[in-house]
Amino acid sequence: MKELQLFSEAQIQEWIEGFKKMIDELINSGIAIDRKMLLSEAQVSEILGVSERTMRTYRSKNKFHHIKLEGSIYYLRLILFYDLIMLSFKSIR
């Protein structure tokens, strides 16, 4: 039985382009993390179209890398794109 893809090819391509753009910015400007590179759990759940409770489940299953600072969960945009791409590839196999 064929498994369903989690994300469309267009969505994956959009993430790859965003990933490349961020890497280029990092290379050209040096590595400096600013606020726009961090996403809150609420922002990520909105992007993925899932509840924050589902995000906690994903975290407990180590599907996404995250950072916990002062009791809040954050995701580094660059690493989130990577995690999403890798998850999508796993669903194809």
Q: pLDDT above 90 covers what percent of the chain?
A: 30
Amino acid of residue 63: K
Radius of gyration of the chain measured on its C-alpha atoms: 14
Would the pTM count as exceeding 0.75? no
The predicted structure's pLDDT at residue 57? 94
By CB atoms closer than 10 A (0-12, 13-18, 19+), residue 26 is: middle
pLDDT at 91 over 90: no
Q: Which two tokens stand for residue 42?
A: 């609420």
Interval 16-30: pLDDT, tens? 788 778 777 766 776
> Which CATH architecture is the domain 9-92 placed in?
Orthogonal Bundle (1.10)
Task: Find tokens 């180590």 and name the residue.
Answer: 62
Per-residue pLDDT of 29-61, as tens digits, reads: 766 667 888 999 999 999 999 999 999 999 999
Domain ranges for the chain, please list them. 9-92
- Contact (CB, 8 A) for 4 and 91: yes
